[in-house]
Structure 1
Amino acid sequence: MSVRQAAGTMVFAGISGMPVIDEDGALLGIVTEGDLMHRAEIGTGVRQRAWWLELVASTRELASQYVKEHARKVRDVMTTDVATVTETCSVADIAELLERKRIKRVPVLRDGKVVGVVSRANLIRALVTMAPEMPVDADISDHSIREAIFAAMAEHPWALARENIIVENGTVHLWIRGISEDEAKAVRVAAENAPGVKDVVMHDGPQVV
């Protein structure tokens, strides 16, 4: 496929990347918006660099840059070092892979052939379609809420001591004196996620007994 055809496919399909396959459906690479950003025909090629940068740049790097800007076929601009997953890969593992590789999408393979693509957008849609959260006015005892917060913090190094968490009528009071801002945010999030919590109040001073 030509680079122009690939660009048109992405635009009209409303996608930012797609796998490149052979006639048998085997994965050859992936082409994304990033691969098509710097093009000579639209004036987005890499600008002339300072002479000293040209000196330190390798011949291989300069040649690769030229190909990205001028090639007419997808095979010359696509990324060939592609991370993949299978259909049985868990959502958690896919999210970890996308984060670790700093990529936005990953092809899904079955018997070596592409059967789909999972993107960051797909993961966000999955979050939207999750079961609705428990209403804050659910009839859950303060004791149950407190125990749920302890369970959420269990084994985390930033967990608050039991005496620093008090629940009254669904409102959680957290005494966070002496911990960092990031740790305070973590304990607040753990409390907010506990079923039945109506509000979370942070106290930075000493607890009055």
Structure 2
Amino acid sequence: MQRVASLLLQHRISAVPVVSNEGGLVGIISESDLMHRTEAGTERPYSWWLQLLVGDAQMASDYVKSHAVKIADIMTRKVVTARPEAPLHEIAMLLEKHDIKRVPIVDEAGHLLGIVSRANLIQAVASARPKLEISPADSVIRGKLLGELRRQPWVHTLNLAAIVQNGIVDLWGYAPSAAERAAIRIAAEAIPGVAVNDHLLETPIMVY
């Protein structure tokens, strides 16, 4: 365990993959697996009432985590992985869905090729080149906006009017919620070279 801890500290990483002699991924061990170790005196204490709540199986599992001398006994075996051709948005969905910090990348044979972490995704955002802000024709802007909105299942385009003049988008109508209103505005702002005026209401106008 000291070797694993040293690797984490030396390389300033939060986890290391565990591979077989053939290079296949067999598990992963993270800093959280080493948090409650007997060497550091940080093993999890159990009061009598907590023992009743968690049960024997959980206490036995925690004992393994704190006392095991083999990596195989504490590593996570069921590792969420992805293929090298997976787009970044799928990696982001895996991180969010499984509440994990990293996704190992493996080939068809299960051999480890690399790891994509949350930090890597943030780096991709930070290093992305800004889009050129050249305003296209008004009709093109409107077409792009409506096309994007129609692809979203939450948009009610019948309640929306988008007027584009000289690269300025005026949004009129109403959105059922503040979140939908913000999302519509952001969809318009994402078009390079445009300015957006948000006149949307969050409740429909009642005509008597």
TM category (shorter chain) comes to 0.7 to 0.9
What is the rounded CA distance, in whole Å, between the counterparts of 1:107 and 1:139 in structure 2? 41
User: What is the TM-score with the length of structure 1 in the denominator?
Assistant: 0.83
Partner of 1:44: 42
Partner of 1:149: 145
Q: Conserved in 1, the CA contact under 8 Å of 2:159 and 2:175? A: no
Partner of 2:126: 128
Alignment CA distance shift 1:203-1:8 (3 Å): same
User: What is the TM-score with the length of structure 2 in the denominator?
Assistant: 0.83
Q: Conserved in 2, the CA contact under 8 Å of 1:17 and 1:33? A: yes
Matches within 5 A, 1:57-136: 57-110=54-107, 111-135=109-133
Per-residue Cα deviation, 1:5-42 (whole angstroms, up to 9, x for no partner):
11111121121111111222122210112212222333
**Which runs of no fewer than 5 residues in structure 2 stay unpaired?**
none
What is the rounded CA distance, in whole Å, between the counterparts of 1:202 and 1:43 in structure 2? 60
Structure 1 residue 52: Cα displacement: 2.9
Per-residue Cα deviation, 1:79-105 (whole angstroms, up to 9, x for no partner):
111122222333333222222222111
Residue type matched to 2:39 in 1? E
**Which runs of no fewer than 5 residues in structure 1 stay unpaired?**
none
Residue type matched to 2:167 in 1? G
Q: Conserved in 2, the CA contact under 8 Å of 1:31 and 1:78? A: yes
Q: What is the count of residue pairs matched by the alignment?
A: 201
Alignment CA distance shift 1:106-1:163 (3 Å): closer
Is the counterpart of residue 158 in structure 1 residue 131 in structure 2? no
What is the rounded CA distance, in whole Å, between the counterparts of 2:81 and 2:160 in structure 1? 47
Residue type matched to 1:23 in 2? N
Is the counterpart of residue 185 in structure 1 residue 182 in structure 2? yes
Partner of 2:29: 31
% identical aligned pairs: 38
Alignment CA distance shift 1:18-1:197 (3 Å): same
Q: Conserved in 1, the CA contact under 8 Å of 2:36 and 2:44? A: yes
What is the rounded CA distance, in whole Å, between the counterparts of 1:189 and 1:124 in structure 2? 20
